[in-house]
Amino acid sequence: MQTRNIMIVGVGGQGSLLASKLLGRLLLDKGFDVKVSEVHGMSQRGGSVVTYVRYGEKVYSPIIDKGEADFIVSFELLEAARWTEYLKTDGRIVTNTQQIAPMPVITGAAEYPENLVEKMAAAGLQVDAFDALSLAEEAGSAKAVNLVLMGRLSNYFDFTEAEWQEAIEKSVPAKFLELNRKAFALGRGA
Amino acid sequence: MKRLMLGNEAVARGLYEAGCSFVSSYPGTPSTEITEAAAAYQEIYAEWAPNEKVAMESAFGAALAGKRSFCGMKHVGLNVAADPLFTIAYTGINAGMIIGVADDAGMHSSQNEQDSRHYARAAKVPMLEPADSAEALAFAKAAYEISEQFDTPVFLKMCTRVSHSQSVVEPGERTEHAKAYEKTPQKYIMMPGNAKKRHPIVEARTAALTEYAETSPLNRVEDGECDEIGIITASTCYQYVKEAFGSKYPVLKLGMAWPMPEKKIRDFAASVRKLVVVEELEGFIENHCRQLGLDPVGKDVFPLIDELSQNTVAEKLGKKAEGGIKLAEAIPNRPPVMCAGCPHRGLFYTLAKNKVTVMGDIGCYTLGAVPPLAAIDTTICMGASIPNLHGFNKANGGETSAKTVAVIGDSTFMHSGMTGLVNTAYNESNSTVIILDNSITGMTGHQQNPTTGMNLKGDPATKIDLEALCRAIGIRRVRVVDPYDLAACDAALKEELQADEPSVIISRRPCALLKYVKHKKPLTVDADKCRSCKACMKIGCPAISMKDGKARIDNTLCTGCGVCMQLCKFGALTGEEA
């Protein structure tokens, strides 16, 4: 099979490392070769962050290049718009509609673009946009946005819910398991 | 059992399996997790040294004692450790010794893009370069074998994409290794008479290692379907080449960055119609090929700058890569920023307000350079701020002393700031040095240091007293302020700038991200009182924005630090009482 590519993008500190850990676990258990590339260090401090998850029979490059991503999973709307060039023409964006103003917007040096979901769709991109933050809060914590997004993403894969749940169990500390299960279910059902 | 591991974790696993029992490092992205992961193995003694030179010298001591050792650092850290490096290259080791160094092509978290391979050639020390986590583990083990077989320290060279990518490894078992120490003055005392006898041994060793490189499985040829071109590559670039071309072209993958084979490269070149070298940063392999009289395609096509990728490799070799859809919309940048509640913020606001010139240093506080604070003038290297300030003030005959400061973090001060402060005291510049003590090494992800009272393993450790240290160095004016208290910061800064002798201000408050730090409730905005003056936005806090002309606090980010509250003249911001 051809290598499949998932990009997870967001704002440093939003919890994308747990999402990639979960995907890595699931895909390894399913017998794929897997590579996951993370960002550490300076860009983590509230900056734009990206994680690459690649799987297939044999994966070489640890990174995803322009035009290669099957999915872009975004924790924040502006970040989804930032990385569209990395999506395959038939790829799909799964994004939280939450908006977090970057510093140039806070200081007034730039504007946060309006109607990004509509603009992405008009550009010919397949966009699945929803309010993951509200679902995470419903599950019990704003921090569970990562699992809500994974739940939503799971609808586009053939893996069973039990397989996803098993991967969650292996990736999440026991005391947060219930919260994360609930968040995943809400995302999957949304 | 197969596991996903970061390249850095896989190095640590390799150290463990090879019987390494001593690790000393200084944190630096992208190298840090090697040492953190090594510390998790009971069998390995692991520590954070105050700097890379101390780490390397300690690792040498451990190797001398007969135990396999490791020291880890980022590329710029190797500059700090270069002094011992060039001489332990002469002495050789007793038990195996690995120097882990991680480059940062693309400068994800660094101040320059230097290529560490030059150090291997300059110091005449062999260097191995893994291309994924499985190789990181295997090469760590191979490095100890080479180290002991050839009596030399060995570099294990990582890069951001190998260090910070998880890929599949199969862990194995540990084998113990130990040797006895024997006094050997002619080998270990490098005074001229002895060193003159060691240098020929070093040259003979490089010749022997070159022979080893000819047949070592670390360097391997992978056959291709077409001999139109043949590609020599290494490290993460190997992955980009394979991603772009699969098995189309023959590939010579070099696992040894130094020394490189000669016959193997000539034979490979002779087997293809055109030779191509794909490598990041410098044309290091390419230059070696040119010395052999070959004429490869290399840096005439590939950039000296930034990382490569599969698309870059494909395009430079004539295969068009398909791009995706770019939005016409202008997307504002999202640069990294100081976190909400960051203790550095209040201090940098004070510096910006007083319009002082600020000699900066390396750490989270480098983000004080970002607008709207924009309160830093220089960032060079670890520890540079204090001597930069000294030279600046001396050269101006003291004229700038009342409006110029140095800022340096607690860990950076321990690393190489102290010697600069000794110079300030001894050569008497009227400098004002601010130590930003957030009680942790922040930027690299919370590592302990000599001022925190804890060690790498999480046990209590001797805590260096910064005030006492500065006084012992000869600074008489040493004072501590709370950076959340803007009035106190302002008063301290003004007084110390005016003082007629060198002074140190310690701006002390632990990093807001530390688990033991308790946050207050998020602040609330009284919209009726808010006059939309945006005074609260001068501090560049990511938790504050304007909505419908009024200040808005993001409850998920605000830590209730209250710095913005002190800027509001209308009492529109309120928080929990102290």
A71 vs A9, A47, A165, B183, CA distance in Å? 11, 21, 21, 62
Q: What are phi and psi of B135, to 5 degrees?
A: -70, -35
Q: Which residue of A has its CA nearest to B33?
A: A40
- A55 CB neighbour count, 10 Å cutoff: 22
pLDDT digits (tens, 9 = 90+) for B214-228: 999 999 999 999 999
> Which B residues 353-382 touch A at CB under 8 Å?
364, 366-367, 370-372
B161 CA to chain A: closest CA distance, Å? 7
Domain extent, residue A110, equals 4-189
CB contact under 8 A, A24 and B4: yes
- pLDDT category of residue B74 using cuts at 50, 70 and 90: very high
10 Å CB burial of residue B196 (0-12, 13-18, 19+) is exposed
CB contact under 8 A, A60 and B242: yes
The answer to whether residue B425 scores a pLDDT higher than 60 is yes
Instruction: For chain B, give the percent of residues with pLDDT over 90.
Output: 96
The answer to whether residue B188 scores a pLDDT higher than 70 is yes
A167 CA to chain B: closest CA distance, Å? 13
- Chain A interface includes B103 (CB < 8 A): no
A48 CA to chain B: closest CA distance, Å? 5
Tell me the ipTM for this assembly.
Answer: 0.96
Report the top-level CATH class of B3-215.
alpha beta
- Dig out the tokens for B525 from the structure: 């905005």
Q: What is the mean pLDDT of residues B127-139?
A: 98
CB contact under 8 A, A42 and B336: yes
B363 CA to chain A: closest CA distance, Å? 9
Of B311, B333, B367, the CB nearest to A104: B333
The whole-angstrom separation of Cα B226 and Cα B281 is: 28
- Chain A interface includes B30 (CB < 8 A): yes
- Chain A interface includes B108 (CB < 8 A): yes
Tell me how far the alpha carbon of residue A166 is from its chain's centroid. Answer: 19
Confidence (pLDDT) at A46? 84
Confidence (pLDDT) at A41? 62
CB contact under 8 A, A40 and B30: yes
Confidence (pLDDT) at A42? 58
Of A28, A61, A69, the CB nearest to B2: A28
Residues 6+ apart with CB under 8 A from B442: B363, B364, B409, B411, B511, B513
> Which B residues 298-357 touch A at CB under 8 Å?
309-311, 321-339
Report the top-level CATH class of B524-574.
alpha beta
B51 three-state secondary structure: coil
B185 CA to chain A: closest CA distance, Å? 43
The whole-angstrom separation of Cα B236 and Cα A63 is: 10
CB contact under 8 A, B324 and A107: no
Q: Are B390 and B423 in contact (CB under 8 A)?
A: yes
HSE of B262, CA atoms in CB hemisphere, 13 A: 10
Confidence (pLDDT) at B287? 98
DSSP B185: H
- pLDDT category of residue B195 using cuts at 50, 70 and 90: very high
Calculated CA dihedral for residues B123, B146, B44, B457, nearest 10 degrees: 30
Chain A CB contacts of B3 below 8 Å:
28
Confidence (pLDDT) at B113? 97
pLDDT digits (tens, 9 = 90+) for B429-465: 999 999 999 999 999 989 999 999 999 999 999 999 9
* Second-level CATH architecture of B344-508: 3-Layer(aba) Sandwich (3.40)
The whole-angstrom separation of Cα B549 and Cα B352 is: 25
For chain A, list residues with pLDDT below 50. none
User: How many Cβ pairs within 8 Å bridge chains A and B?
Assistant: 189
**A110-119 per-residue burial string, b: 16 or more CB within 10 A, e: under 16:** bebbeebbeb
Domains B3-215 and B219-316 equal at CATH topology level: yes
Structural domain count, chain A: 1
Q: Are B457 and B39 in contact (CB under 8 A)?
A: yes
The answer to whether residue B206 scores a pLDDT higher than 90 is yes
The answer to whether residue B59 scores a pLDDT higher than 60 is yes
The whole-angstrom separation of Cα A6 and Cα A154 is: 12
Query: Nearest-CA neighbor of A49 among A18, A9, A81, A7?
Result: A9
Q: What is the mean pLDDT of residues B255-272?
A: 98
CB contact under 8 A, A46 and B324: no
Answer positive or negative: Cα dihedral of B469, B473, B479, B483: negative
A58 CA to chain B: closest CA distance, Å? 10
Pairing of the two strands B524-525 and B573-574: antiparallel
Confidence (pLDDT) at A43? 56
- Chain A interface includes B412 (CB < 8 A): no
Q: What is the mean pLDDT of residues B491-510?
A: 98
10 Å CB burial of residue A166 (0-12, 13-18, 19+) is middle
The answer to whether residue B180 scores a pLDDT higher than 80 is yes
- pLDDT category of residue B578 using cuts at 50, 70 and 90: low
Which of B320, B322, B334, B362 to probe by mutation at the A interface, max A CB count within 10 Å?
A: B334
The whole-angstrom separation of Cα B568 and Cα B557 is: 19
Mean pLDDT over all residues of chain B?
Answer: 97
Q: Which residue of B has its CA nearest to A86?
A: B324
- Chain A interface includes B13 (CB < 8 A): no
Domain boundaries, chain B: 3-215, 219-316, 344-508, 524-574
List the single range of B231-235, B237-241, B573-577 with lowest mean pLDDT.
Answer: B573-577
Which of B6, B108, B166 to probe by mutation at the A interface, max A CB count within 10 Å?
A: B166
CB contact under 8 A, B168 and A61: no
Q: What's the CATH code, domain B219-316?
A: 3.40.50.920
Of B4, B108, B370, the CB nearest to A28: B4
Tell me how long chain A is. 190
Identify the CATH number of the domain in which residue A56 sits. Answer: 3.40.920.10
- pLDDT category of residue B556 using cuts at 50, 70 and 90: confident
Q: What is the mean pLDDT of residues B280-285?
A: 98
10 Å CB burial of residue B32 (0-12, 13-18, 19+) is buried
The whole-angstrom separation of Cα B272 and Cα B286 is: 16
Of B161, B337, B444, the CB nearest to A62: B161
Confidence (pLDDT) at A44? 65
Confidence (pLDDT) at B563? 97
